[in-house]
Structure formats: C-alpha cells, structure tokens
Chains A and B, each alone.
Chain A
Amino acid sequence: MFRKFFRRTPLAWLQLKREPTRFAVALAGIAFADILIFFQLGLAEGLFDSVTKPYTALQGDLFLINPLFESMAVVKSFPRRRLYQAAGVGEVRSINYMYIDQGRWRNPQTLKNQSTMVFAINPNDSAIVLPEVKAHLDRLKLLNRILYDRTGNADLFGKIVEPLQQSGSVPIQFNNIQTQVTGTFVMGASFSANGNVITSNSTFLRLFPERRADQIDVGIITLKPGTNIERVQTAIRSQIPDVLVLTHAEFIEHEKKYWQVNSPIGFLFGFGAVIGFIVGIVIVYQILYSDVSDHLPEYATLKAMGYGDGYLMSILIQESLIMAILGFIPGFIVALGLYSLATSVTFIPILMSVNRAVLVLGLTIIMCVASGGIAMRKLQEADPADIF
C-alpha cells in the first residue's frame, strides 16, 4: 500500500512547491505561531522551575505549613509546638524547621536595597541539603554570617564573588544590620525574588526582630526508613487539623498551583500560547483556502477524471502535514535562540525540553490539520459538472 503511495505523483508537495512565495509565507506564519507558543510555554515552565528550586533543595518526608502559606513569596507562620506535637506520632526519626522571609540586601556599590529571599536553617542540622551549603555550615554557626546565591545579578546585588574569593568574606548591610557573606551557593533567581540568602536561625531572628522563634514557616519531618508516608500523613492530619501536612511532591505542587491558579501569571502564559495556536490556525487556513480557491477548476477536473473526495482531502491533509513539519523546524530553532536571550535577560533559566518540543510539534500538526479540515469545505464546491 505504501509502495503504491510513493509511486503516485506527490500532488500536495508539487502544489506547495509551485508557489514558493506563498509557501514561504505559510512556513513563516507557522514558525511565528510556534515561536509564540514555545516562548509562552517556556517562560511558564521557567517560572515554575524557578519557584520550585528552593523546594528541591529541601530534604524530608512530610512538610508542615500554615494553611495560609500560599507560596515562598506569601509566607505565613505557624506555632512551633505543632511540629513537636506531630513528632509525637510514632515512626518519626527527626524533625527540623525553617524560617523564610524577604529582606533588604543593600548593594555595596550602588547602596540600593534589593528584595531578597532569606532561608534560615539550623547550622547543626541543615534542612537545605545543597552540598555547598553543607560545606559552609560551620561558618554559619557564627552570628551575622550569610551565604549568597551567586546566580544573583551583579548589577542588582553588587560584585560579591570576586571580593569573596580574595578576602574570604564580604561585608553587606542586610535589613540595616552589618553582616558578612562567607560563602556562596546556587539556587537561582525566581519570580518571587531576584536573589536568595541562607543564614542560621539565630542570625535570622536578629535580622528580623519582629519574628518570634516559636513561629516557624516550614516544619520538616523525616520518618524512619520503610515507613508508610501516607499513613503517617493521615495520622498527623487528624491530630493537628490546623496545619497543612504535605509530602515533598505535594509541597512542590502547592507552590506551582499558586502560580498557575492564584496568580494571573500562569493564566497569562496559557493565554499567550492559545493566541499563538489560533494565529497559526488562521494563517494555515488562509493559505490552504486560497490554494483550494485558486485551483478549484483543477480539483474539479481531478474529480471529473474519477478521483474521489477522499483523494482530494488527503491532498489537503498532506499539504497541512508538510507545512506543519517544515514550519516547525525554523520555529524550533528561533525559539532556542529566544530562550537563551530570555535567560540572559531575566536570569531565570529557560530551557528547551523534549516534552515541550514534542508538545509543540503535536500542537502544530493539530493546528495545520484543523485548518485543512476547515478548508475542505471549500473543496466540496469543486463540482465536475461545472467545468464543461
């Protein structure tokens, strides 16, 4: 059957090729639509990656938060004794907790304040398990010592890394208190904040005098190996109904959901992608429609010769698929360029993923075939009786 197919004259391809300008315009249109979709989806995924970065640095089986804790950017504390109560439910190996807040980092060069996320950990038992943080824990045991996320933009935070390598510590005014940066780590800027700082619980309480030691932001529970996490989760929930008890995956999902649903950002990106899709449909439809209109007598001639509707429809579908695939390729390449441009401007890493490439290719094919389907109605007008 396929052999027969390839022996046939490739009408779809020949028709597209005969009008190179129109074909090029069609491909440019599809590429444009693809770029739009790629860019929107890429930014959205970059956003979600960036806001969940701190979460992936955490280690634990269950996480306790205030039900009003919406995201790292909208933190709400809860009483520390709730964590101790939860620890009373058997099978708990260890507990830990973290304070989170946003503080003002003063750029040592420009003296401008920069909003910064602060994660406070216990230097004897860090909840953040990044290797670089672990290596610097001893230095954090001293008061007013902080670690700096070196992916921060030097224009915003000042030059930190080089002076740190030379002298081993850099003085920084943080929340109007003199601190020393004694090391760096990598977490990445996010939509919540341009930069991150890690410090000890004790330093945190000094930097934020209004915060109380017994009001924590994230409670972390590590269970004994082999314990059924869901069972313990249910048990803690029934005992302490006024906090949220989440597994690690649920905790990440909680943050993502905030950006997807509660913030307009997720909607905007989705909207942009849908617009790209519609633009693509309109462009491909226009091209196919004018192709069919221009060649209507010729299609009617084919019908008169004995070709059925199915054959003519398959030509349109083939044209759609050819345009989809050939339009996708430049769209993909330009999107790669845009990703690296956006990454260098926003400092939020936006990467191409196989999943997204396959998704957009699929959308492109749906887009083109759908337009082909609409253009088919025009094909019905080709009446072989009219051409005599």
Chain B
Amino acid sequence: MNLLLTVTKMSEPIISARNLNHYFGDGNLKKQALFDINLDIYAGEIVIMTGPSGSGKTTLLTLMGGLRSAQEGSLKILDRELRDASKQELTKLRGNIGYIFQAHNLLTFLTAKQNVRMSLELHDRYLKGDLDKVANDILTTVGLEERAEYYADNLSGGQKQRVAIARALVSQPKIVLADEPTAALDKKSGRDAVELMQKLAKEQDCTILLVTHDNRILDIADRIVYMEDGRLMDRPETT
C-alpha cells in the first residue's frame, strides 16, 4: 500500500533500475550477484534496504553510487544512464552524491572542518564563497562546533559518524547513500546519527538510500525494500 502511494505521489524517479543484472568474475568463475532488479526511488524519499549478509545489497548500492559501472539492464541516476558509463562520467556523477560509510572513512590527516571542506571544494559554486563558514555551520548543525579543529583520530565513534554525515550532506547532494551507518555505534549514537540524517535530508529534499541490518532504525524509512540472494522481494514477516 505504502509503495503504491509513493509512486503516485511523485512524478519522475531519481533512481531507476530496470532488469538490472550484475556479475562478478570471468569464465567459469563468473557468478551472478544481482538478478533482474527493478526499483524506483523518488526525490525526498528515505528508503531502507535490508536483507541477510551477502544478499547483494552493497553491490546494488555501489552501482547506484556510480562506484561500479552497470553491466546489464538499465540504471538511471539523476536522469543519467549508468550502463557502460565511462570512468569520467561516473566520477562526475559521484560529485552529486553523498556517501556515508560504515567505517566513517574520514581523512585522518585532516581536521573535522577540513574533512567537510573536501566535500565542498569539488564544487565551483562553493569555492567562490566562504568554505570555512559553510563547513562550520554544518558542524554546528550536527552538534560538533566545539570539535571543528579536532583530527578524526581524536573524535569518538559517534562524533566521527556525525562528521561523515556533515561531509556527505554539506554540498546538498540530491542523493545520499549510506551503508550500515550505525553498525559501529552504540544504540543512542546510532539513533542520533540517523535522526540527524533524516532531519537534514528532509530540509534539503534529499533522497536517502540506506542499507542496514539494524532493526532499531527501520522506523525512519518511508519505504523498506528487502533483498535476498540477489533479488528484491517482498519482506518476509519477521517477528
């Protein structure tokens, strides 16, 4: 029901996969990882993708993030076809997507503020303005104004993830992809982190696709998709 409602509400999907297949390896070792994926995600939606380990969630996420090129079927992100896209096209696309990783992946030789700046410096429109002010503002929003000059190593896990969220969202991307953002966090920090993502995304009308095993955060989603053995399927009723 929920799915149908969303489809009618929105017009053009911002992420659209049609009959998407993906393989790893060559020859005898060739193994299909994704089978006939059909998925539309619309602007402003928060979609949680869940499913057992090895089901292909992360593979799909990397395809949608332009981190791998699509092999078979069709995958359109922000109206760009990613099938057989060149390396340059993928690199360019990635500038419009925010990423939040399980292992935050902050640059350890930079301070929190500099990490956030790195995301801004990709865009000419920010380079002309006051980068430090924009970076400080978003760090204030995630509650880290006191920690702006700290190196990543000197921050707690939750603080690092908040810097990563600030980094992913500061340049106002249309899409944010997050892979297990709460896995390394305790219950409260994890909850804070996703609520922060939700709040910022709603403010910026940004689409979020979030892969997680964490049942505690499922309630922030507009829609939940379930994946098993490389296929999208109806979510089995869990207890």
**Which residues on the B side are within 8 Å of A306 (C-beta)?**
91-97, 122
CB pair A301 B105 closer than 8 Å = yes
A303-B91, A304-B99 known; A15-B65 Cβ under 8 A:
no
B121 contacts chain A at the CB level, 8 A cutoff: yes
B68 contacts chain A at the CB level, 8 A cutoff: yes
The B102-135 residues at the A interface (CB cut-off 8 A) are 102-103, 105-110, 114, 117-119, 121-122, 124, 127, 131
CB pair B67 A304 closer than 8 Å = yes
Which residue of the partner chain, among A4, A9, A17, A387, contacts B118 with CB atoms under 8 Å? A9
Which bucket holds chain B's interface residue count? 35 or more
Q: Mark B172-186, 1 if CB is under 8 A from A, else 0.
A: 000000010000000
**Which residues on the A side are within 8 Å of B23 (C-beta)?**
none
B142 contacts chain A at the CB level, 8 A cutoff: no
What distance in Å separates the Cβ of A382 from its nearest Cβ neighbour in chain B?
Answer: 12
**Which residues on the B side are within 8 Å of A15 (C-beta)?**
109
| Distance, CA A302 to CA B109, complexed state (A) | 13
| Distance, CA A9 to CA B58, complexed state (A) | 31
Counting chain B CB atoms within 10 Å of each CB, which of A7, A9, A18, A388 scores highest? A388
What distance in Å separates the Cβ of B215 from its nearest Cβ neighbour in chain A?
Answer: 21
Interface of A is mostly: helix
Interface of B is mostly: mixed
What distance in Å separates the Cβ of A322 from its nearest Cβ neighbour in chain B?
Answer: 14
| Distance, CA A273 to CA B88, complexed state (A) | 42
| Distance, CA A385 to CA B105, complexed state (A) | 13
A9-B117, A305-B118, A388-B179 known; A14-B109 Cβ under 8 A:
yes
B101 contacts chain A at the CB level, 8 A cutoff: yes
| Distance, CA A301 to CA B114, complexed state (A) | 14
CB pair A9 B101 closer than 8 Å = no
**In this complex, what residue of B is CB-closest to A7?**
B127
CB pair A385 B68 closer than 8 Å = yes
**Which residues on the A side are within 8 Å of B95 (C-beta)?**
305-306
**In this complex, what residue of A is CB-closest to B179?**
A388
| Distance, CA A15 to CA B107, complexed state (A) | 9
B204 contacts chain A at the CB level, 8 A cutoff: no
A304-B67, A306-B91, A388-B101 known; A18-B108 Cβ under 8 A:
yes
| Distance, CA A8 to CA B120, complexed state (A) | 10
Q: Mark A296-323, 1 if CB is under 8 A from B, else 0.
A: 0110011111111000000000000000
CB pair B114 A384 closer than 8 Å = no
A295 contacts chain B at the CB level, 8 A cutoff: yes
What distance in Å separates the Cβ of A310 from its nearest Cβ neighbour in chain B?
Answer: 10
CB pair B67 A388 closer than 8 Å = yes
Counting chain A CB atoms within 10 Å of each CB, which of B58, B94, B95, B96 scores highest? B94
What distance in Å separates the Cβ of A60 from its nearest Cβ neighbour in chain B?
Answer: 66
CB pair A301 B101 closer than 8 Å = yes
CB pair A308 B91 closer than 8 Å = yes
| Distance, CA A8 to CA B122, complexed state (A) | 9
**Which residues on the B side are within 8 Å of A19 (C-beta)?**
109
CB pair B58 A8 closer than 8 Å = no
**In this complex, what residue of A is CB-closest to B119?**
A305
What distance in Å separates the Cβ of A182 from its nearest Cβ neighbour in chain B?
Answer: 72
**In this complex, what residue of B is CB-closest to A10?**
B114
Which residue of the partner chain, among B92, B93, B101, B109, contacts A18 with CB atoms under 8 Å? B109
**Which residues on the A side are within 8 Å of B6 (C-beta)?**
none
**In this complex, what residue of A is CB-closest to B65?**
A304
| Distance, CA A14 to CA B96, complexed state (A) | 26
CB pair A7 B131 closer than 8 Å = yes
**In this complex, what residue of A is CB-closest to B152?**
A298
The A323-340 residues at the B interface (CB cut-off 8 A) are none
A305-B94, A305-B118, A308-B88 known; A4-B67 Cβ under 8 A:
no
Q: Would you give 9 A-B contacts (Cβ < 8 Å), ordered by A?
A: A4-B127, A14-B110, A295-B107, A298-B105, A298-B108, A298-B109, A301-B101, A306-B92, A387-B105
Known: A307-B122, A308-B88. 20 other contacts (CB 8 A): A7-B121, A8-B121, A18-B108, A18-B109, A295-B108, A295-B109, A298-B106, A301-B105, A303-B91, A304-B94, A305-B94, A305-B122, A306-B94, A306-B95, A306-B96, A306-B122, A385-B62, A387-B105, A388-B67, A388-B179
